[in-house]
Amino acid sequence: MDNSIDPFLMSPIQERAYQITEGMQYGTEESAIHGKINHDAIDFAAAIGSSVRAAASGFAIAGYQFEYAFTDLTRAKVRLWQNKTVGYGLGRFVLILHLEPALRDRWLYTIYGHLLSTASHIPFYEPERRINDADTGWEPIKFRQSPQAHITSAVIVKQGELIGEVGITGMEWGVEGSSELEYHPANYWDEPHTHFVTEIRGPQGEKIEHLDPFGIYADETAYTKVRAAGVGLWLPTRD
């Protein structure tokens, strides 16, 4: 089986079986939880502790992010789902800057979120606690910086190198903190998976656009059809 995403990126999950549970747009239930349609990532569901690997070579750092969800932009009321406070975020993540393909003033990054743990050789930057913001949570540092600053903060990883393990951090029912490691299903609203983002950023680390590495999940209609047909959802076992 060809497990590549495109000629440049390989799949971050190389286990014998995994499930794509969300595409670039959320399904109905996830949209209700988040209060939005855009997902801007691909979710690779796999057994907790499964290996997560670099989709391409680059410069990697690790960190943590968590926040509460709010019902609207006023942030006056925390979002509830099934009468529980919704907390969400990347949790433990690895962020990789890729220097190829070369883009003028546009830089390609991949992000791997909700990790159980990150590889010990990748520098982990402890998050900052939000204390003067109604949106309480944990803010990652060095997450948006210039490519030059990112490189000085990072270590080089090779394509296919182990960078972490599949987890569920950042998807808690109102649990906050950066020390949780064990998976307790009752505390989380989603299955263990890696939230895989392909993002183009500008010269100061600002987001320009999210790229869909698969293409077939570009809209909810396409995703729904693919999911209903079972095509591309459970991928075949590799020999």
Q: What are the percentages of helix, strand and coil residues in the chain, rounded to 5?
A: 10, 35, 50
φ and ψ of 153, to 5 deg: -95, -5
Among residues 122, 116, 118, the alpha carbon closest in space to that of 47 is found at 116
| Least confident span in 23-27, 42-46, 94-98, 122-126 | 23-27
For 139, the enclosing helix (H) or strand (E) is strand 137-139
CA pair distance 187, 89, nearest whole angstrom: 15
Task: Say what the pLDDT of residue 201 is.
Answer: 92
Which residues are within 8 A (CB) of 82 and not within 5 positions of it... i.e. 6 or more apart? Answer: none
Please check the confidence at residue 24 and state whether its pLDDT lies above 80. Answer: no
Domains of the chain are 25-224 (2.70.70.10)
pLDDT, tens digit, 9 for 90 and up, residues 84-104? 766 778 989 999 999 865 567
Among residues 238, 231, 164, the alpha carbon closest in space to that of 23 is found at 231
CA pair distance 39, 23, nearest whole angstrom: 7
| Top mean-pLDDT range of 18-32, 105-119, 199-213 | 105-119
3-state secondary structure of 228: helix
CA pair distance 91, 78, nearest whole angstrom: 19
Please check the confidence at residue 238 and state whether its pLDDT lies above 70. Answer: no
Which residues are within 8 A (CB) of 224 and not within 5 positions of it... i.e. 6 or more apart? Answer: 27
Please check the confidence at residue 130 and state whether its pLDDT lies above 80. Answer: no
pLDDT, tens digit, 9 for 90 and up, residues 188-211? 667 788 999 989 899 999 998 888
CA pair distance 6, 216, nearest whole angstrom: 13
- pTM, 2 dp: 0.79
Mean predicted lDDT score pLDDT of the chain: 75
Better pLDDT: 126 or 227: 126
